[in-house]
Amino acid sequence: MDILAVREIKKYFFAGTGLWGRPARAIKAVDGVSLTVRRGQTAGLVGESGCGKSTLGRTILRLFAPTAGRVLLGGEDITDYPPARLRPLRRKMQMIFQDPLAALNPRLTALAAVETPLRSYGQGKEERRRLAREMLRVVGLNASCEGKYPHEMSGGQRQRVVVARAMVLEPQFVVCDEPVSALDVSVRAQVLNLLRDMGERLGLSYLFISHDLSVVYYFCDWVYVMYLGKIVEEAAREEIFAHPAHPYTEALLSAVLLPDPGQKRVRIILQGDLPDPLNPPAGCRFYSRCPYAVPRCEEEPPLRELRPGHRAACWLH
């Protein structure tokens, strides 16, 4: 059973309104992506900055209106729901952001921050307070933190508040957008463990967006690799790490630096940067940086199944 199914979703942004009525140029941030998240599982979405992974996360939660495609939450097509109909559903789907300092209102204490989302769902004041307190304990913040403002807390504490605020509504599906990238190394493991514990406790499903493959390997059951608005490869965790098929996945994996100086591996160093999304290359989008490029790559490769469950968009396979 899938908690989330996304079908051929697109999100285009338009760069200005064209001069003299000329049509504006479209930035195809997400360009036809399909993915599913199974109930109780974690899907990872990996890619470099600017590849559209955050836009995809936000479009799934309907923080952006999709340009095309469908979003199904628990089998229910929510793509065209007006805000009023989305509101009760927002309880079921929450988001955890990268920068806790930016995500928290600087004028709300930890307790108030966690209590606020409950206001939309009709509990009384006492009940809200009780639930918020309880959730703060669950995420490992003691009573002395309740009255603290974001600037008085450490990075790890702030991210715990953000997690508590998302979890207090007992959601079914949570999008985590780089939840540990802004945290210090020793705190990262604490927050990852917390997310895993919360997942088990509430039977949650996650879409975990990250550029850090080692974190994705630890956290995710299924991995999607995104490049310039498209999924280029997807597979189960073990499969994709053991047998990456797309040259981009291969390069990403080889760029992971392991904390072990003895383990010198052959590193694939990609040339150049992510192409300008306003002018994506025709054909395969990875063509310009691909070490194995052949003439056929001027034609766009489809996402094809290589083995059951393992799909990649590359002519090499």
Nearest CB to another protein, comparing residues 126 and 200? 200
Which of the ranges 105-113, 127-135, 163-171, 211-219 carries the binding residues for another protein, by CB under 8 A? 211-219
As a whole number of angstroms, the distance between CA 167 and CA 234 comes to 28
Total number of residues that touch another protein (CB under 8 A): 46
Interacting residue with another protein among 27, 93, 167, 192 (CB under 8 A): 192
Token pair of 156, please?
């790890």
Nearest CB to another protein, comparing residues 1 and 185? 185
State whether residue 228 is helix, strand or coil: coil
- The minimum distance between CB 70 and another protein, in angstroms, equals 30
For residues 148 and 110, is the Cβ–Cβ distance under 8 A?
yes
CA distances from 1 to 36, 74, 222 (A): 10, 8, 15
Interacting residue with another protein among 257, 266, 295, 308 (CB under 8 A): 257
- The minimum distance between CB 282 and another protein, in angstroms, equals 20
For residues 11 and 30, is the Cβ–Cβ distance under 8 A?
yes
185 binds another protein (CB under 8 A): yes
251 binds another protein (CB under 8 A): yes
269 binds another protein (CB under 8 A): yes
Query: Residue 221: CA atoms inside 13 Å, Cβ hemisphere, count?
Result: 14
Name residue 76's amino acid: E
CA distances from 305 to 135, 233, 242, 247, 314 (A): 43, 10, 17, 16, 11
142 binds another protein (CB under 8 A): no
82 binds another protein (CB under 8 A): no
Token pair of 269, please?
């160093």
The beta strands (E) that lie in 130-221 are given as: 173-177, 205-210
Which of the ranges 71-79, 167-175, 182-190, 308-316 carries the binding residues for another protein, by CB under 8 A? 182-190
63 binds another protein (CB under 8 A): no
Which of the ranges 61-69, 94-102, 119-127, 249-257 carries the binding residues for another protein, by CB under 8 A? 249-257
Token pair of 221, please?
């059951």
Name residue 72's amino acid: L
312 binds another protein (CB under 8 A): no
218 binds another protein (CB under 8 A): yes
- 97, β-bridge pairs: none
Token pair of 263, please?
């383990």
As a whole number of angstroms, the distance between CA 42 and CA 220 comes to 5
- 224: exposed, middle or buried (Cβ count in 10 Å: 0-12, 13-18, 19+): buried
48 binds another protein (CB under 8 A): yes
- The minimum distance between CB 187 and another protein, in angstroms, equals 7
266 binds another protein (CB under 8 A): no
Which DSSP letter does residue 172 get?
A: S
Nearest CB to another protein, comparing residues 262 and 295? 262
272 binds another protein (CB under 8 A): yes
106 binds another protein (CB under 8 A): no
270 binds another protein (CB under 8 A): yes
Interacting residue with another protein among 44, 52, 117, 156 (CB under 8 A): 156
Query: Which residues contribute to the site for another protein (CB under 8 A)?
Result: 48-49, 154-157, 184-190, 192-193, 196, 211-215, 217-219, 237, 241, 251-263, 267, 269-274
